[in-house]
Structure 1
Amino acid sequence: MDQFGGNAAALAANLRTLCEGHGSIAAVCRKINVNRQQFNKYLSGAHVPSASNLRMIANYFGLSVPILFSDPDEFRTLVDGNFFHAMSTARQLPEFSRFVSNMIVENNSLDSDILGVYDRYQFSSIYKGFVLRSAFCIYRNKEFLQHYYVERFPSFDDPKKTEYVFKYYGFCFPVADRIFTADFEGIQRNELTFGVYAQVKRNSKNFMFGIASGIAANMFRSPYSTKVALHYRGPGLLKREHLNNLTVMDRNDPSIPREALQYLGDGSDMIQMG
């Protein structure tokens, strides 16, 4: 288990988190055909499973083996946000299988360049003229590159309170030096969004600039197309510290990177319908 640094404590915490939503420990052991006494050692951090048992456990929960060894706080954020369940459900759809049949991600150098956490900037379709900062993450799950991002909108009446939260789950497809994304919103369950991005590296600051389009099933959120700037913050999955920075800001806010603001412009070219 050297490839994971022997991090039995992280694995144990993440297994306990997973088991919380899957009934009794005994039921989990029966379904993955692992001895209960041995599984208890995994849960306590006393032992790390063999490679074959790790694969069985990961397959049962619909995850990749490396994700089982993620930082426990990051991992719980994913579980609490229902990200794993949403992706597992999407993979089972025959329409999805046909869509990605020719787009399976191969091991290549592009992964190391794009995996990780980003601040995501775009002009808000709800707060006209203001810039929305959301949290965006790209990670590998088996043969797929997946992503998720979270938006938070403050209340009009009390900016200190959160009025709306939207969570998007999706897949990334690297094609011809571009990153194509397709995702769906998991709380309102009524919106599909699509994007295409290109990497730009300036002064050791990593950015991806692109276009995103969204189509909702009701008129509460009108269809839109807008510029999006992604600013790389670091490797790994989303942490609570990233989520704490989500908000809507005046375009003159100094915390918005200059490169992102230059790309976004003044928002006048944002296309909305309805």
Structure 2
Amino acid sequence: MEQPSDQIVNFAANLRLLCERQGSISAVCRKINLNRQQFNKYLSGLHMPSSQNLRQIANFFGLSVPILFTDHAEFRTLVEGNFFHAMETVRSSPELNRFIESMIVEASADHKDILGVYDRYQYSSIYKGFVLRSALCIYKNREFLQHYYIERFPSHDDPTKTEYVFKYYGFVFPVAGRLFTVDFEGIQNNEMTFGVFAPVKRSSNNFMFGIGSGIAATMFRQPYSTKVALHYRGPGLITREHLDKLTVLDRGDPSIPREAMQFLGDASEMIHLG
């Protein structure tokens, strides 16, 4: 018996996860207007939906069709991290709609050259003088380029344990050869950050160098502005392998790319606005 392809396996697993969060498969079928018996075959991986049914399913869950075929472990990270729900809430806000209307979005391009996972380097505002390595992912969801990134800070008392985790999610706007980002902190929900980056290709390494600025609704974290280096690692979404490498590093750590360290300079170039 022929084994189903990875695409079909991922789609079925992702669809089951989405339906579990809806509570009732029958309700999903009624709202999408699909036959329950046929839908069960999609959930079991026995059949793939037609292109029309795929679009109906994707539209119902507020996702793009390609994201439904993402590796299941990566897809679960996005779902359980609440990134999809958070972005849907942000997208429906009148403030964001006014912001998007004022931006020049190059909607005709697919921007495949910038999609994927990056190591994100900047000086830490919590561990003074150390470089923070976080993970950032740019992906396309329907007509929007979106991104999310995750920071992890080790404990001062036990560096093998994580003390702080921050998750940011937002939009990417390609304008005139640069990338503008706006994102929102998703755990404490009190910080908004902005960035502007220019792609740089040096030898076989792809980098984006730019500036990140952030301000919180409270003074738990001081406003800041700092240089940020993005080092492209590969296509797809953030995986456990990427997360395991998130930490703060001494600026002489050999795992930091030389180009990134040259751009960041020394910690005195970080600007605090408090």
| Residues 27-84 of structure 1, C-alpha deviations (whole Å, 9 max, x = no match) | 2112211111111100000011111111111111110011001111111111111110
Match of 1:123 in 2: 123
Q: Secondary structure at the match of 2:267?
A: coil
Q: State the shift of 1:240 in Å.
A: 1.1
Match of 1:106 in 2: 107
What amino acid sits opposite 2:251 in the alignment?
A: R
| Residues 117-172 of structure 1, C-alpha deviations (whole Å, 9 max, x = no match) | 00000000000000000000001111111000000011111111111110000000
In 2, distance between residues paired with 1:40 and 1:104? 39
The range that moved more, 25-34 or 68-77, is 25-34
In 2, distance between residues paired with 1:259 and 1:154? 25
Q: How does 1:77-156 map to 2 (within 5 A)?
A: 77-101=77-101, 102-108=103-109, 111-156=111-156
Match of 1:220 in 2: 220
What amino acid sits opposite 1:157 in the alignment?
A: D
Q: Confirm or deny: 8 A CA contact 2:15 2:68 kept in the other structure.
A: yes
Q: State the shift of 1:98 in Å.
A: 1.8
What amino acid sits opposite 2:193 in the alignment?
A: T
Q: Confirm or deny: 8 A CA contact 2:105 2:175 kept in the other structure.
A: no
Q: Confirm or deny: 8 A CA contact 1:104 1:144 kept in the other structure.
A: no
The gaps in structure 1 that reach 5 residues or longer are none
What amino acid sits opposite 2:11 in the alignment?
A: L
Q: State the shift of 1:107 in Å.
A: 3.1
What amino acid sits opposite 1:166 in the alignment?
A: F
In 2, distance between residues paired with 1:92 and 1:258? 41
In 1, distance between residues paired with 2:65 and 2:253? 41
- Count of equivalent residues: 269
Q: Secondary structure at the match of 1:21?
A: helix
Q: State the shift of 1:208 in Å.
A: 0.2
Q: How does 1:1-274 map to 2 (within 5 A)?
A: 7-101=7-101, 102-108=103-109, 111-274=111-274
In 2, distance between residues paired with 1:242 and 1:174? 25
Q: Confirm or deny: 8 A CA contact 1:104 1:143 kept in the other structure.
A: no
Q: Normalization by structure 2: what TM-score? A: 0.95
Q: Confirm or deny: 8 A CA contact 1:105 1:145 kept in the other structure.
A: no
In 1, distance between residues paired with 2:178 and 2:164? 31
Q: Runs of 4+ in structure 1 displaced over 4 angstroms? A: none
Identity of matched residues, %:
73
Structure 1 residues 249 and 49: CA distance shift in structure 2, 3 A:
same
Q: State the shift of 1:104 in Å.
A: 4.0
